[in-house]
Structure 1
Amino acid sequence: MAATKSRNDTPNTPDVSESKIARMKVDELRRELKSRGVKGTEGLKKPELVDKLVKAEVRAAKGGKKNPTSRNDTPNTPEVSETAVSRMKASDLRTRLARRGVKGTADMKKPELVERYVKAELKSAKTSKKSTSAKNPTSRNDTPNTPEVSESKIARMKVADLRTQLARRGVKGTADLKKPELVKKLTQSLTGKSR
């Protein structure tokens, strides 16, 4: 970039700093572009990434945002916020991914961890939407004969708590099960006991 106009090639948008963008690392540039909905950045070199991000910033500063969902690339699942995930520490992301059964995160950099976690959140959100829609005509209770068993309450439990509850009920082999399977097993265990 030419360093004219006091290091800002966009005098009409003083809040866009090309020099600040140019100092960013390649991974940071790709992550920022991805959060703005810009795709196909994998094969680009740093100058091209800088140019794309400057253009995206200028568009946003002028009010021509391409992303109407406040930096959320998943408008169908608003409960998954990419910005909130990208603000998390790498260690927190690794811990949360491990809880979800995702392996091989030790050598991943933060952008990869963010991407993995967002995918896991999306998958979880879509799974929970499917399980609560159409299948569930009884106000989130698939067991109307046992109203003391609340599936929605069980579904909100943490995986560790689900495993603990199942172990207390003598259910074995839960170590490799994912949360939906644990929820189903605990529900079956509770409804079986209450009948």
Structure 2
Amino acid sequence: MSDKPGNQTPNTPDVSETKLRSMKVDELRKEAREEHIAGASDMHKEDLVKAVAKARQEDHDGGRKEGSRSGSGNSGRASSGKSGSGKEGRDEPGNQTPNTPDVSETELRGMKVDELRREAREDHIPGASGMRKEELVKEVAKARQEGAGGGGNRSEDAGGDAEDLGAGPDGGKIRYGDDSSKSLKYSQEITSTEEEPEREGRSLATTHHEVIRQWAEERGGVPATVEGTEHGDHLGVLRIDFQDRDANLREVSWEEWFKTFDDRRLNFVYQEERTDGNQSTFFRLENPDREDA
């Protein structure tokens, strides 16, 4: 008994591997990603043909087993779209997270990483800038579900500071003076929460209040001042205190912190990610007039 023409894989009788082999590698990889086939970006063409053929056959049979591939990810191949139909443990098309039934993860996976990060920041999800795409999908799906169900508010849980602090008096733009450092000239200016670094490890600079707050809170940071450097009722040296709290720092409100930040005409120079792609906590405060930051 022979298979259909061009198919040498007995367990995929309804799939034409000949047709798949006529596709370009990037087309095969694209389909593999849509099928959420692990390691597709590193596969050679023949491996892609076999994997995509197997995925198509599973879709055709409707017999995808629990634990295989992370999901169909393609509504065009979904069998019915009704919960409770099909094999046991099968969720609605595109959603493999049981506690987010009303959220389409397929839709989220179709978004770009920077779009997912932007939504994650809007939902005040900590650590979003250091997350990979699949982590962002899961966290944004969870946040959407919480929003749909009215269950909990991430911004309140993170500290009750839900209101957008805005750009500040200079619209987020860098402040320059006679003694501005040379490195400031080579930093990418950030004037909006929607702007992204041009590349990993890029030096960034801003005076945008909400950009600074979001950056700090994503890393578990809180506004602080160095104890003993206060000037009367005015804050002393400004710092951000991260998860390993420093005994020499005293936590203050963002309102106090930014009032001092603006009064001293400071710039916030920082990194989103290190050159290796991992989240960075590097920052420094620079005064173009060389006053003590």
Is TM (by shorter chain) over 0.5? no
Higher strand share: 2
Q: Radius of gyration: which is bigger?
A: 2
Structure with higher helix content: 1
